Amino acid sequence: MGSVKFTETILRDAHQSLMATRMKTEEMLPIAEKLDKVGYHSLEMWGGATFDACLRFLNEDPWERLRKLRKVIKNTKLQMLLRGQNILGYKNYPDDVVEEFVKKAIENGIDIVRIFDALNDTRNLKTALNATKKAGGHAQTAISFTTSPVHDIDYYLNLAKEMESMGADSICIKDMSGILLPYNAYDLITKMKQSIKIPIQLHSHFTSGIANQTYMKGVEAGVDIIDTALSPLGNGTSQPATEPMLSSLKGSGREPEYNMNNLNEIAEYFTKLRNKYEKEGLLKSKVLGVNTKTLIYQVPGGMLSNLVSQLEGQGAIDKFEEVLEEVPKVREDLGYPPLVTPMSQMVGTQAVFNVVLGERYKMIPTEIKNYVKGLYGKPTTPIKDDIIKKIIGNEEIYTGRPADLLKPELDNYREEIKEYIEQEEDILSYALFPQVAIKYFKYRQAQKYNIDSNLLNKDENTYPVV
């Protein structure tokens, strides 16, 4: 079977999972060259929440991050996570925006685009997949893994075959909640290897404490690539730690030839960073342990902390357990969507409303209504009539591809921000996060022209446009 390859996530998913995506570009660059020399299959360093976090919290241009790292990392493939038609946001975007975003991501240095859809609706993957291949990138489609009465092995095998027939270059089993059990992984991957010819990658989180064992059984079954994170930011709600996983494979005949001394040297650098993050309060102890409730409720680590925040904000933290029990009930009502962005936030918010208000579906977020109307895609299993009636009454349900309802928008976005544009990529930043991007563009101008950055906090109309 050959050596299993590793994708290193410390520059993206690891710090997104453990510390809300707060690692800065200036903290990545000093170690980038050493990371490049390890021999990883790829470095996942962009996409997911990094784009939003760069603009919103770090006053950084995410495009510049990509360019700077690409300049230093000359040998290892750079990888990103893309939410299909949602790109990196929380709603569907028109095809012209998706196509341009993917094109610019690859132009600026991305090699592999991992594309997933929260509902595993392949119609929502098609535009991004085709755009990736057209731009010369590697299109990896991801299966959002979950369990339910309808998510059986045949479901996943059929999905994998469909993705391969669409032109995917590889497939990732994306176990965002850390609930794929070891022997189930062995069975699934064994059968997938028999059914499809393209490489299979396995991605999990250590949240429930089983991902190491799942990876080992996946490797035995012939998985081609696994996602790991160097130990200072590994385990917890992150990926299994790189160094112990490498050591565990010794004698298997599948261990890659990575130099442990090199890995330890890189880990020492990130250990210092981790210590700094802990002092700054960015790294919370609750994300470092194992939470076996994940196996019961399927709630990913990021969703857990989000539920805590919502309940604390409403003075109802004592209802946390009740909300956890409500989550799978809401999920069943809604046709068993996988709990991954944006469905995890939507299901979680509905569960909070149901419990805090003491009546199920008394208050319903607009996003849930739009989901039931078919505007996010097709549920895994049809939603029951009484739930549909309760949520949207007699409103019509759309059964087509959601993005077919959207008109091209790029030219409109370009016109709306013409006074701020310094690069074509700015239009895409604005398309995804309009208010956050505008605030960043103003900050960028303030830095460039030595304008008092305190003006950023004043009324928008008083801020000088240069």
Q: For residue 450, is it left (φ>0), alpha (ψ between -120 and 50) or beta?
A: left
What confidence score (pLDDT) does residue 453 get? Answer: 57
Q: In Å, what is the CA distance from 354 to each residue of 5, 197, 257? A: 44, 45, 52
What confidence score (pLDDT) does residue 286 get? Answer: 66
Residue 131 in any domain: the answer is yes
Sign of the Cα pseudo-torsion (364, 365, 368, 373, in order): positive
Residues 243 and 134 occupy one common structural domain: yes
Residues 321 and 198 occupy one common structural domain: no
Residue 444 in any domain: the answer is no
Residue 25 in any domain: the answer is yes
Tally the domains of the chain.
2
Residues 165 and 78 occupy one common structural domain: yes
Sign of the Cα pseudo-torsion (292, 295, 300, 306, in order): negative
Domain end (from 383, 400, 417) = 400
Residue 405 in any domain: the answer is no
Residues 334 and 196 occupy one common structural domain: no
- Give the Cβ contact number of residue 396 at 10 Å: 8
What confidence score (pLDDT) does residue 456 get? Answer: 54
Q: In Å, what is the CA distance from 429 to each residue of 243, 410, 440? A: 36, 11, 10
Residues 55 and 156 occupy one common structural domain: yes
CATH of the domain at 138: 3.20.20.70
Residues 262 and 355 occupy one common structural domain: no
What confidence score (pLDDT) does residue 301 get? Answer: 65
Domain end (from 379, 400, 421) = 400
- Give the Cβ contact number of residue 209 at 10 Å: 16
The neighbouring-strand residues paired with 204 are 175
Residue 322 in any domain: the answer is yes
Residue 433 in any domain: the answer is no
Residues 66 and 131 occupy one common structural domain: yes
Residues 184 and 272 occupy one common structural domain: yes
Q: Are 12 and 45 in contact (CB under 8 A)?
A: yes
Residues 367 and 271 occupy one common structural domain: no
What confidence score (pLDDT) does residue 461 get? Answer: 37
What confidence score (pLDDT) does residue 305 get? Answer: 67
Domain end (from 352, 375, 400) = 400
What confidence score (pLDDT) does residue 371 get? Answer: 96
Do β-strands 112-116 and 138-144 pair in parallel, antiparallel, or remain unpaired?
parallel
pTM, two decimal places: 0.93
Residue 418 in any domain: the answer is no
Q: Are 132 and 166 in contact (CB under 8 A)?
A: no
Query: 236 lies in which domain range?
Result: 5-285
Residue 315 in any domain: the answer is yes
Per-residue pLDDT of the chain (466 residues; tens, 9 = 90+): 899 999 999 999 999 988 889 999 999 999 999 999 999 999 999 999 999 999 999 999 999 999 999 999 999 999 999 999 999 998 899 999 999 999 999 999 999 999 999 999 999 999 999 999 999 999 999 999 999 999 999 999 999 999 999 999 999 999 999 999 999 999 999 999 999 999 999 999 999 999 999 999 999 999 999 999 999 999 998 999 999 999 999 999 999 999 999 999 999 999 999 999 999 988 876 678 888 878 887 877 667 767 877 888 889 999 988 998 999 999 999 999 999 888 998 999 999 999 999 999 999 999 999 999 999 999 999 999 999 999 999 999 999 999 999 999 999 999 999 999 999 999 999 999 999 999 999 999 998 888 765 655 544 433 333 3
Sign of the Cα pseudo-torsion (119, 20, 57, 115, in order): negative
Rounded to an integer, what distance in angstroms lies between the CA atom of residue 174 and that of residue 351? 24
What confidence score (pLDDT) does residue 283 get? Answer: 83
Residues 273 and 333 occupy one common structural domain: no
For the CA atoms of the chain, what is the radius of gyration?
22
Residue where the block lists tokens 């960015």: 282
Residue where the block lists tokens 């709630």: 299
Residues 227 and 369 occupy one common structural domain: no
Q: Are 204 and 192 in contact (CB under 8 A)?
A: no
What confidence score (pLDDT) does residue 462 get? Answer: 33
